[in-house]
Amino acid sequence: MPLHPMIVHFPMVLAVLSPVVLVTILLVSRKTRIHGSIWVAVLALQFVLTTSSFIAMSLGEGDEEMVEKVVSERIIEEHEEWGEAFGWVTLVPLAFCASILFSASPYLKAGAVAGSALVLFMAIPTGHSGAELVYRHNAAKVFAGSVGFSAGGAFGMGGESHKDDDD
């Protein structure tokens, strides 16, 4: 079984949680004093998000040749491009959160929130294109062997291979 589908869910979930955590901390900090170490935890969250996105990207590249047996290269490359853009964008809130450890500037905090919103925005087409590979183009078929997958897609839901889409 390939690792990319398992690992890729970490950055997707963290992309959703990151702006929620940052906005919550900023709202709470308006009412009460928050210890500076909270930013270490936020930085750790951003670090795990960035690291897991690059690990998922690397694992996806490793699976690419196998998936190309059933899905057109054009469709795979679209997902790959979204994944790469997502991975690089995760560096934005990471950099802002690291900077906050040295200066508690409200501009840095706003940059961290905006960066995390950008990451969330990028997660949508990245995740969607990956889901399309699996559920519409039946990419998982190459890893399933003879266990429960058919030309009708996973669980017989009508997915089909589109290997010739780029012809």
| Statement: residue 151 has pLDDT above 80 | no
User: Residue range 53-69: average pLDDT?
Assistant: 88
What's the total number of domains in the chain?
1
Q: What is the pLDDT of residue 158?
A: 44
Give the range of the structural domain holding residue 128, as residue numbers without chain letter: 4-154
**Does residue 161 lie within any of the structural domains?**
no
Residue-wise pLDDT tens digits, 44-55: 999 999 999 999
Q: Please indicate, yes or no, if residue 159 is contained in any of the structural domains.
A: no
167 falls within a domain: no
Tokens encoding 141: 């078929």
Q: Is the pLDDT of residue 137 over 90?
A: no
User: Are the beta carbons of 94 and 50 closer than 8 angstroms?
Assistant: yes
pLDDT at 37: 85
What average pLDDT does this structure show over 133-160?
62
- pLDDT at residue 161 greater than cutoff 60: no
- Highest average pLDDT, of 13-27, 30-44, 51-65, 124-138, comes from 13-27
In a domain, 48, yes or no: yes
Enter the DSSP assignment of 153. Answer: E
Q: What radius of gyration, in Å, describes the C-alpha atoms of the chain?
A: 19
- The 3-state DSSP class for residue 34 equals coil
Tell me, yes or no, whether 87 lies in a domain: yes
Entry pTM: 0.81
* Residue 163 resides in a domain: no
Q: Is residue 101 part of a domain?
A: yes
